[in-house]
Chain A
Amino acid sequence: MPTDDLPEAKTLPARRPLRQRASLVWLVPVTALAIALGLALQTYLARGPLIEIIFDEASGVAAGSTELRFRDVTVGKVEALEFEPGLEKVAVHVRLDKAIAPYVDEDAVFWVVKPEVTTTGVSGLDTVLSGVFIAGVWDTEPGETKLRHEGQPKAPLLPPGRDGLLLTLQAANGVALTANSPITYKGLEVGMVGTPELSRDRLSAIAPAVIYAPYDRLVQSTTRFWDTSGFSFSIGAGGAELDFSSLSSLIAGGISFDTVISGGVGVRDRAAFQVFASQSEARQNVFDAGRGTGVPFTVIFEENVSGLEAGAPVEVRGLRIGEVTGITGIVDPLRFGDGRVRLQVSLELRPGELGLTPVDDPTREVEDFIAQRVEEGMRARLVSTGLLSTGLKLELVDLETVDRATLDRANSPYPLIPTTESQISDASASAQGMLTRVADLPIEELMQSAVRFLDNASGLAAQTSSLVQDGEVRAIPGDVRALLGDMRGVVGAPEVQGLPAQAATLMEELNGTVSDLRGLVAQVEEARAVEKLVNAVEAAGSAAEAAEASITGVPGLIDSLTATADTARALPLEELVNRVSAIVADAETLLEQPGTRALPETLNGALEEVRLSLTELREGGSVTALNETLASAQSAAAAIEQATTELPQISDRIQRLLSQASSTLAGYDQGSEINRSARAAMTALSRAASAVESLARALERRPNSIILGR
Chain B
Amino acid sequence: MVGCRYCTRAWPAGTESCGVCGSKLVSRDRQSLQKVWAWWLVALLCYIPANLYPMLRTSTLGSVSQDTIVGGAITLAEHGSYVVAAIILLASVVIPTLKFLAIAYLAVSVSRPSSASQHTRHILYEVVEYIGRWSMIDVFVVAILSALVHLGSIASIEPGPASLTFALTVVFTMISAQSFDSRLIWDQLDDDQEKDPIRAD
Q: Is B108 an interface residue (CB 8 A)?
A: no
Tell me how far the C-beta of A28 lies from the nearest C-beta in chain B, rounded to whole angstroms.
5
Tell me how far the C-beta of B136 lies from the nearest C-beta in chain A, rounded to whole angstroms.
19
Q: Is B115 an interface residue (CB 8 A)?
A: no
Does A32 lie within 8 Å of B12, measured CB to CB? Answer: no
Does A21 lie within 8 Å of B42, measured CB to CB? Answer: no
Alpha-carbon distance A23/B39, docked complex (angstroms): 11
Which residue on chain A has the smallest CB distance to residue B45? A32
Say which one of A124-132, A429-437, A580-588 lies at the interface with B. A124-132
Which residue on chain B has the smallest CB distance to residue A130? B62
Does B42 lie within 8 Å of A23, measured CB to CB? Answer: no
Does A131 lie within 8 Å of B62, measured CB to CB? Answer: yes
Determine which of B13, B30, B39, B153 lies in contact with A129 in the assembled complex, contact meaning CB atoms within 8 Å: B153
Q: Is A26 an interface residue (CB 8 A)?
A: yes
Given contacts A65-B64, A131-B62, contact A22 B34 (CB under 8 A): yes
Q: Is A319 an interface residue (CB 8 A)?
A: no
Q: Is A7 an interface residue (CB 8 A)?
A: yes
Does A129 lie within 8 Å of B61, measured CB to CB? Answer: yes
Q: Is A45 an interface residue (CB 8 A)?
A: no
Does B61 lie within 8 Å of A29, measured CB to CB? Answer: no
Determine which of B30, B34, B45 lies in contact with A33 in the assembled complex, contact meaning CB atoms within 8 Å: B45
With a cutoff of 8 Å between Cβ atoms, the chain B residues found around residue A26 in the complex are 34, 38
Does B34 lie within 8 Å of A25, measured CB to CB? Answer: yes
Which residue on chain B has the smallest CB distance to residue A26? B38
Given contacts A1-B12, A129-B153, contact A25 B63 (CB under 8 A): no
- In the complex, per-residue mask of A647-673: 1 if CB is within 8 Å of any chain B CB, else 0: 000000000000000000000000000
Which residue on chain A has the smallest CB distance to residue B34? A23
Does A28 lie within 8 Å of B38, measured CB to CB? Answer: yes
- In the complex, per-residue mask of A8-43: 1 if CB is within 8 Å of any chain B CB, else 0: 000000000000011101101100110010000000
With a cutoff of 8 Å between Cβ atoms, the chain B residues found around residue A36 in the complex are 45, 49
Interface size on B, residues (CB 8 A): 20
Does A7 lie within 8 Å of B31, measured CB to CB? Answer: no
> Would you list which residues of chain B between 143 and 188 have a CB under 8 Å from chain A?
153, 179
Alpha-carbon distance A444/B41, docked complex (angstroms): 125
Tell me how far the C-beta of B155 lies from the nearest C-beta in chain A, rounded to whole angstroms.
11
Tell me how far the C-beta of A131 lies from the nearest C-beta in chain B, rounded to whole angstroms.
6
Q: Is B107 an interface residue (CB 8 A)?
A: no
Alpha-carbon distance A340/B58, docked complex (angstroms): 68
Tell me how far the C-beta of A2 lies from the nearest C-beta in chain B, rounded to whole angstroms.
10
Given contacts A23-B31, A65-B64, A128-B62, contact A28 B12 (CB under 8 A): no
Does B13 lie within 8 Å of A7, measured CB to CB? Answer: yes
Does B63 lie within 8 Å of A131, measured CB to CB? Answer: yes
Tell me how far the C-beta of A648 lies from the nearest C-beta in chain B, rounded to whole angstroms.
141
With a cutoff of 8 Å between Cβ atoms, the chain B residues found around residue A21 in the complex are 30-31, 34
With a cutoff of 8 Å between Cβ atoms, the chain B residues found around residue A7 in the complex are 13
Tell me how far the C-beta of B159 lies from the nearest C-beta in chain A, rounded to whole angstroms.
18
Q: Is B46 an interface residue (CB 8 A)?
A: yes
Q: Is B133 an interface residue (CB 8 A)?
A: no
- In the complex, per-residue mask of A326-337: 1 if CB is within 8 Å of any chain B CB, else 0: 000000000000
With a cutoff of 8 Å between Cβ atoms, the chain A residues found around residue B38 in the complex are 23, 25-26, 28-29
> Would you list which residues of chain A between 222 and 249 have a CB under 8 Å from chain B?
none
Does A28 lie within 8 Å of B62, measured CB to CB? Answer: no
Q: Is B35 an interface residue (CB 8 A)?
A: yes
With a cutoff of 8 Å between Cβ atoms, the chain A residues found around residue B62 in the complex are 128-131
Interface size on A, residues (CB 8 A): 18
Tell me how far the C-beta of A21 lies from the nearest C-beta in chain B, rounded to whole angstroms.
7
> Would you list which residues of chain A between 415 and 438 have a CB under 8 Å from chain B?
none
The A/B interface has a contact count, at CB < 8 Å, of 43
Alpha-carbon distance A351/B12, docked complex (angstroms): 118
With a cutoff of 8 Å between Cβ atoms, the chain B residues found around residue A1 in the complex are 12
With a cutoff of 8 Å between Cβ atoms, the chain A residues found around residue B30 in the complex are 21
Does B35 lie within 8 Å of A23, measured CB to CB? Answer: yes
> Would you list which residues of chain A between 32 and 58 have a CB under 8 Å from chain B?
32-33, 36
Given contacts A65-B64, A129-B62, A131-B62, contact A25 B45 (CB under 8 A): no
Which residue on chain A has the smallest CB distance to residue B54? A64
Which residue on chain A has the smallest CB distance to residue B46? A32
With a cutoff of 8 Å between Cβ atoms, the chain B residues found around residue A29 in the complex are 38-39, 41-42, 45
With a cutoff of 8 Å between Cβ atoms, the chain A residues found around residue B13 in the complex are 7
Does B42 lie within 8 Å of A28, measured CB to CB? Answer: yes
- In the complex, per-residue mask of B41-64: 1 if CB is within 8 Å of any chain A CB, else 0: 110011001000000000001111
Does A28 lie within 8 Å of B39, measured CB to CB? Answer: yes
With a cutoff of 8 Å between Cβ atoms, the chain A residues found around residue B153 in the complex are 129
Q: Which of A21, A23, A36 has the most CB of B within 10 A?
A: A23
Which residue on chain A has the smallest CB distance to residue B29? A23
Alpha-carbon distance A128/B153, docked complex (angstroms): 12
With a cutoff of 8 Å between Cβ atoms, the chain A residues found around residue B39 in the complex are 25, 28-29
With a cutoff of 8 Å between Cβ atoms, the chain B residues found around residue A129 in the complex are 61-62, 153
Does A25 lie within 8 Å of B31, measured CB to CB? Answer: yes
> Would you list which residues of chain A between 347 and 406 have a CB under 8 Å from chain B?
none
Q: Which of A22, A25, A36, A128 has the most CB of B within 10 A?
A: A25
> Would you list which residues of chain A between 94 and 129 have a CB under 8 Å from chain B?
128-129
Which residue on chain B has the smallest CB distance to residue A33? B45
- In the complex, per-residue mask of B1-31: 1 if CB is within 8 Å of any chain A CB, else 0: 0000000000011000000000000000011
Tell me how far the C-beta of A644 lies from the nearest C-beta in chain B, rounded to whole angstroms.
133
Alpha-carbon distance A28/B153, docked complex (angstroms): 39
> Would you list which residues of chain B between 36 and 90 have a CB under 8 Å from chain A?
38-39, 41-42, 45-46, 49, 61-64, 66
Alpha-carbon distance A575/B55, docked complex (angstroms): 185
Tell me how far the C-beta of B47 lies from the nearest C-beta in chain A, rounded to whole angstroms.
11
Tell me how far the C-beta of A19 lies from the nearest C-beta in chain B, rounded to whole angstroms.
13
Alpha-carbon distance A65/B66, docked complex (angstroms): 10
- In the complex, per-residue mask of A56-95: 1 if CB is within 8 Å of any chain B CB, else 0: 0000000011000000000000000000000000000000
Tell me how far the C-beta of B38 lies from the nearest C-beta in chain A, rounded to whole angstroms.
4
Tell me how far the C-beta of B116 lies from the nearest C-beta in chain A, rounded to whole angstroms.
25
With a cutoff of 8 Å between Cβ atoms, the chain A residues found around residue B12 in the complex are 1
Alpha-carbon distance A294/B153, docked complex (angstroms): 56
With a cutoff of 8 Å between Cβ atoms, the chain B residues found around residue A25 in the complex are 31, 34-35, 38-39, 179
Alpha-carbon distance A33/B45, docked complex (angstroms): 7
Which residue on chain B has the smallest CB distance to residue A129? B62
Alpha-carbon distance A128/B63, docked complex (angstroms): 9
Alpha-carbon distance A65/B57, docked complex (angstroms): 12
Alpha-carbon distance A287/B37, docked complex (angstroms): 93
With a cutoff of 8 Å between Cβ atoms, the chain B residues found around residue A28 in the complex are 38-39, 42
Which residue on chain B has the smallest CB distance to residue A7? B13
Which residue on chain B has the smallest CB distance to residue A22? B34
Alpha-carbon distance A24/B2, docked complex (angstroms): 25
Which residue on chain A has the smallest CB distance to residue B194? A10
Which residue on chain A has the smallest CB distance to residue B60? A129
Which residue on chain A has the smallest CB distance to residue B179? A25
Does B31 lie within 8 Å of A32, measured CB to CB? Answer: no
With a cutoff of 8 Å between Cβ atoms, the chain A residues found around residue B42 in the complex are 28-29, 32
> Would you list which residues of chain A between 185 and 225 have a CB under 8 Å from chain B?
none
With a cutoff of 8 Å between Cβ atoms, the chain B residues found around residue A64 in the complex are 66
With a cutoff of 8 Å between Cβ atoms, the chain A residues found around residue B35 in the complex are 23, 25
With a cutoff of 8 Å between Cβ atoms, the chain B residues found around residue A32 in the complex are 41-42, 45-46
With a cutoff of 8 Å between Cβ atoms, the chain A residues found around residue B66 in the complex are 64
Alpha-carbon distance A620/B41, docked complex (angstroms): 145
Alpha-carbon distance A207/B83, docked complex (angstroms): 61
With a cutoff of 8 Å between Cβ atoms, the chain B residues found around residue A130 in the complex are 62
Alpha-carbon distance A23/B35, docked complex (angstroms): 7
Tell me how far the C-beta of B58 lies from the nearest C-beta in chain A, rounded to whole angstroms.
12
Write 6 A-B pairs (CB below 8 A) sorted by A numbering: A1-B12, A7-B13, A23-B35, A25-B179, A28-B42, A29-B45
Nearest 3 CB-CB pairs, A to B? Answer: A129-B62, A29-B41, A23-B31
Residues of B within 8 A of A (CB): 12-13, 30-31, 34-35, 38-39, 41-42, 45-46, 49, 61-64, 66, 153, 179
Contacts A28-B38, A28-B39, A64-B66 aside, 11 further interface pairs with beta carbons under 8 A come to A22-B34, A23-B34, A23-B35, A25-B35, A25-B39, A28-B42, A29-B42, A32-B41, A32-B45, A129-B61, A130-B62
